[in-house]
Chains A and B, each alone.
Chain A
């Protein structure tokens, strides 16, 4: 039965590589990720510098390109501190648990079509699975262990709260992120990344499924704990979050894990929504050979860098949100919107597959619009009611506290102070002066 369901994918081009080719590809992915981390760090600091009207690092190597390497080396020769009340083994293994799964997701990223390497026909992709995208989600979840264990084992309240915040945030945004993929699978008819790229030959899913793409772009930032969603590391409240107690290479590995995770979500956005390794439309029309041979790798990396730039741009442009706002956005906005969008996409797709008549289309769309209007109306009424109830409660509390400042058990400062807004309120509540009385009489001057 399972073979029947999976019959749609053609993965015959994978799993046939000789061992030396596997080793080459694995090394390539590893080097690609490490280099992308080093270059992203450099680019991030340079671009942030430019956006803030300063230079950014420009000392090490040409244009400061070796800055990331220098930072890594410096961290390598720093003292490896193990504070005294940590859970030692968990504390030491947590950085490895965070960084090791981060690399694995890239195994299924398609860099290009079939090419010939030393006379051997092979895909520019390490491997592909019938459940390829699921592997990425699984590895993202595995990475959470590193964060939460690091926070838990550090024996410090800041680290504990940072680790918990991080894990709660990542799993919350993972739900919304996983929901956006459903629409992609609906259109592609497969979970394998090479199949998804092939399905985007005519039109990118970022165009067909704009809401999914936009939700993915938001969850992508939440998933990697970046500004504006970098609450776990909010230094104003939590020092450094889960890695407060880490130093030396152990700290560097959390840093590495964060940037590799960024690379992974960027690569995934390119693969699932931006047409994968295929050249963007004007180039492929002018130049038919753009999608053959080794060129696709260039398009992949160019798109990858563009998405990465958005991350950096966000960091320069956005302030940090509050934690309750973050969770509210994830659970109360992104998830319901995703679910409704999936139902809309599935209905449209089913109607098209069934070759529905215009009348059916009109009836279904009309019914959908009517349902949406009714839901909006009910929502609006409920919101209005809640708002009124809140206002009344506030008025009552104000009246009670005004009459007796110690009501409720807590001594409350006098509500007449101007900064409570009561001066304004008193002025509004005060009886208006009679028409004709002069200002002198009212003020008593």
Chain B
């Protein structure tokens, strides 16, 4: 546990720094009201009406996030295997190659179905 305490101290300092910055931003600057300034910036034209809480966006981004989760879990599983590789021997190698091949099947499937295409 002692190993993690310094990280918490650093986290507290960086969070405090962020909070102080936000405070400076709110206090130090001038406040001059102007209706046009409060519009969303769209190069000077009338801004596109946006629904509250963000507009619609392409599904591709959602798909990318899902793929990220799939592959990130694979990688997290690879880390302890890599760190103790020397003690696992050939057995560890064969097991992990089987695992990677299984994930690669999913990867090839995504690729063939066009999940990695952007146009």
Are A343 and B10 within 8 A (Cβ)? Answer: no
Query: Is B109 at the interface (CB under 8 A from chain A)?
Result: no
Partner-contacting stretch, out of A93-101, A200-208, A214-222, A436-444: A93-101
Are B25 and A250 within 8 A (Cβ)? Answer: yes
Known contacts A107-B6, A189-B84, A328-B116; A83/B18 CB under 8 A: no
Are B10 and A189 within 8 A (Cβ)? Answer: no
Are B15 and A96 within 8 A (Cβ)? Answer: yes
Nearest B residue to A188, CB-CB:
B83
Of B17, B65, B107, which is within 8 A of A168 by CB? Answer: B65
Query: Is A124 at the interface (CB under 8 A from chain B)?
Result: no
Q: How large is the interface on B (under 10, 10 to 19, 20 to 34, 35 or more residues)?
A: 35 or more
Of A79, A92, A159, which is within 8 A of B29 by CB? Answer: A79
Are A100 and B18 within 8 A (Cβ)? Answer: yes
Query: Is B106 at the interface (CB under 8 A from chain A)?
Result: no
User: From residue 65 to 99 of chain B, which have CB atoms closer than 8 A to chain A?
Assistant: 65, 67-68, 71-72, 75-76, 78-80, 82-86, 89-90, 92-93, 96-97
Known contacts A79-B30, A134-B79, A252-B21; A85/B86 CB under 8 A: no
Are B6 and A126 within 8 A (Cβ)? Answer: yes
Query: Is A145 at the interface (CB under 8 A from chain B)?
Result: no
User: From residue 38 to 65 of chain A, which have CB atoms closer than 8 A to chain B?
Assistant: none
Are A80 and B26 within 8 A (Cβ)? Answer: yes
Q: Could you tell me how many residues of chain A have their Cβ less than 8 Å away from some Cβ of chain B?
A: 97
CA distance A304 to B77 in the complex (A): 30
Main secondary structure of the interface of B (DSSP, over half): helix
B43 to chain A, nearest CB (A): 7
Query: Is A335 at the interface (CB under 8 A from chain B)?
Result: yes
Nearest A residue to B25, CB-CB:
A249
Query: Is A346 at the interface (CB under 8 A from chain B)?
Result: yes
User: From residue 1 to 32 of chain B, which have CB atoms closer than 8 A to chain A?
Assistant: 1-7, 9-11, 13-15, 17-19, 21-22, 24-26, 28-32
**Other 14 A-B pairs with CB < 8 A, given A323-B118, A328-B116:** A5-B80, A16-B2, A22-B5, A77-B28, A100-B18, A104-B7, A127-B4, A134-B76, A152-B53, A168-B61, A179-B78, A182-B82, A186-B82, A350-B89
Q: Give 11 A-B contacts (CB < 8 Å), ordered by A residue.
A: A5-B80, A96-B19, A100-B11, A104-B7, A127-B4, A127-B7, A157-B50, A164-B57, A167-B61, A327-B118, A339-B104
- A-side residues, CB < 8 A to B, are 5, 8, 11, 14-17, 22-23, 25-27, 29-30, 76-85, 87, 92, 95-96, 99-104, 106-107, 126-129, 131, 134-135, 152-161, 164-165, 167-168, 171-172, 174-175, 178-179, 181-183, 185-186, 188-191, 239, 244-245, 248-250, 252-253, 323-324, 327-328, 331-332, 335-336, 339, 342-343, 346-347, 349-350, 353-354
